[in-house]
Amino acid sequence: MAMTKTRLDFGPWEPDAALLNGTQAPEARNVIPAARGCRPMASVAALKFDALPLPVKAAYARRDLYGTNITFAATAEGLYSLEGKSWSQKYAGETASDVRAFAEYGDAVYALFGSTLLKSSLSGVAGAFAAVEGAPEGEVLGVIRDFLVVGRLSERRNAIRWSGLDRPDQWPEPGSNEAQYIQSDIQVFPVGGQVQAVTGGVGGVDGLVFLERAVQRATYVGMPYMFQFDTVDREHGCAAPHSPVVCAGACVFLSEDGWRMTDGVSVKAIGVERVDEWFFNEASLDRLNEVRGVHDNRNRVALWSFATPDAPPGVHDRLLVYNYMLDRWSYGVTECETLFQDYTRGGMALEELDEFGSLEELPFASLDLAMFKNGDLSVISCFDAAHRLGNFTGPPLEAVVDTAEQGGDRMMVHGLRPLVDGGAAEALPVYRTREMDARRFGAYARQQRDGVCYQHLSTVYLAARVRIPAGENWSHAVGVEALIEQEGGM
């Protein structure tokens, strides 16, 4: 019989789903989901700034009212800001709690150091952090409309308190005349467990309060009640305090039984029969509270870093990726201490480069990078296991992607042509004779001059795995073209 070409597409990555006659792909490592196939995931490019002395538990970047980029980092013993090529300590101390969190309001950045609320004013450089007088002690920090909010209070872990209206430094005693006047108050949630996270501006609602076993919607109603709280979900709450990520009018978060999304009106499961089982099998369950999410608006994805059982203390070794526009998942393998949304450090005048000493000391991979020419670009940054700042702008990581499985009739496989627009992609066959059989993997073959990775095997069910080596220059991978010949018999 004549040889034919059969298209095998890179389907959505759903490792929990059955492979039988499906369209999903069981592997999608170090890639970002695309409408057709996938795109490369960048590696971490280390920036040549000084390392911090201890592991970084939280980081935050913002631009002050004059356009200056300011980056903060929190360790177990202090708070730091990046000034020039070195870190300047802005607060020192030790706490029993390892909670570190940041939020901005106006021309100031607020931080929770343990359960203490601190403030740093900004004017080109960050000022020293100092305790906010009268502020409540708590372990959750957020902003809803024009109020700074502290949750999981030390005296009531199932409650939140908010500052005065547009007065983040004023925290009068709840119920007092002064509190009523400036609209500051407290809310206790009798059902749902302790407060896990507070987010503002989700969809058309003012804010959300995530509890261990519930989600509450906050709506500003003014005097005398200030906020109205309505239950969005009374069964599923937030299992990881730093997992909620606001994106495209919704918020994605990790619940006790998987990944969910809410628009503030309803909650839906987005990981069932897709990635939930994989995640809980892969993650270190006693470190779920460390899962940290961030919104990557350049790639229109939400990212979460988490630790597997093999990860060193304080280090995460996996990334979970969700393309919320396409409702598709993937994952990455890389090490970091924490993720945060950052700004590229570009737009520098040439004379400003003098402080780095030489071209070899520049914290950029190349002067030709778009990030160097335009400092307004947003980027995802992280701290590596050596406590050094880096961002995801390096060469692509090694990508490994599977196609969906096709078959049912016996075939002879002669070759696989990766449909990748660059890079020295390699391919191997994934095959089995019966659906009840375990999948078998052939050997990787390189592309020949005609782009085909030649193979020679007889099978009934066929999929393909493509590997694109690290550092290769490519932008899209959509599938594999299999060169097959139908055989007689079953």
The domain that holds 464 is classified in CATH as 2.60.120
**Does 467 reside within a domain?**
yes
Q: Among residues 218, 251, 280, which one ends one of the domains?
A: 280
- Number of domain units in the chain: 2
Q: 10 with 132, same domain?
A: no
Q: 10 with 100, same domain?
A: no
Distance CA 265, CA 107 (A): 32
Q: 98 with 230, same domain?
A: yes
Q: Which domain holds residue 113?
A: 45-280
**Does 217 reside within a domain?**
yes
What CATH number is associated with residue 84?
A: 2.130.10.10
* Pairing outcome for strands 195-202 and 185-188: unpaired
Q: 167 with 252, same domain?
A: yes
Distance CA 40, CA 24 (A): 19
pLDDT of residue 347: 42
pLDDT of residue 84: 78
Residue 38 in tokens = 């996938």
Read off φ and ψ for residue 353, nearest 5 degrees: -75, -15
Q: 83 with 218, same domain?
A: yes
Are 322 and 329 in contact, with CB atoms under 8 Å apart? yes
Continuous segment of H or E residues that includes residue 181:
helix 177-182
Strand order in the sheet with 250-255: 245-247, 250-255, 258-262, 267-269
Q: 146 with 76, same domain?
A: yes
Peptide linkage before 224 cis (omega within 30 of 0): yes
N- to C-terminal Cα separation, the chain: 15
Among candidate residues 438, 334, 346, 435, the one with its CA nearest the CA of residue 394: 334
Continuous segment of H or E residues that includes residue 331:
strand 328-332
Q: How far is CA 402 from CA 21, 258, 453, in A?
A: 15, 24, 15
pLDDT of residue 410: 93
Continuous segment of H or E residues that includes residue 5:
strand 3-9
Q: 58 with 179, same domain?
A: yes
**Does 295 reside within a domain?**
no
Q: 465 with 446, same domain?
A: yes
pTM score over 0.85: yes
pLDDT of residue 42: 96
pLDDT of residue 349: 39
**Does 173 reside within a domain?**
yes
Q: Is residue 310 exposed (0-12), middle (13-18) or buried (19+ Cβ within 10 Å)?
A: exposed
Q: 30 with 132, same domain?
A: no
Residue count of the chain, please give it: 490
**Does 150 reside within a domain?**
yes
Among candidate residues 6, 21, 10, 125, the one with its CA nearest the CA of residue 66: 125
Distance CA 437, CA 440 (A): 9
Q: 13 with 54, same domain?
A: no
Q: Among residues 223, 245, 280, which one ends one of the domains?
A: 280
pLDDT of residue 377: 63
Are 315 and 336 in contact, with CB atoms under 8 Å apart? yes
10-residue stretch averages of pLDDT, the chain, 490 residues long: 87 90 89 96 93 96 81 96 90 93 94 96 78 97 97 97 97 96 97 97 94 97 93 96 95 97 96 97 97 95 97 97 97 97 64 46 46 61 96 96 92 96 93 92 95 95 96 96 83
Read off φ and ψ for residue 120, nearest 5 degrees: -130, 125
Q: 37 with 149, same domain?
A: no
**Does 359 reside within a domain?**
no
pLDDT of residue 292: 97
The gap from C-alpha 320 to its chain's centroid, in whole angstroms, comes to 7
Distance CA 202, CA 251 (A): 7
Q: Among residues 234, 251, 280, which one ends one of the domains?
A: 280
**Does 65 reside within a domain?**
yes
Residue 379 in tokens = 């980027």
pLDDT of residue 373: 45
Q: 89 with 168, same domain?
A: yes
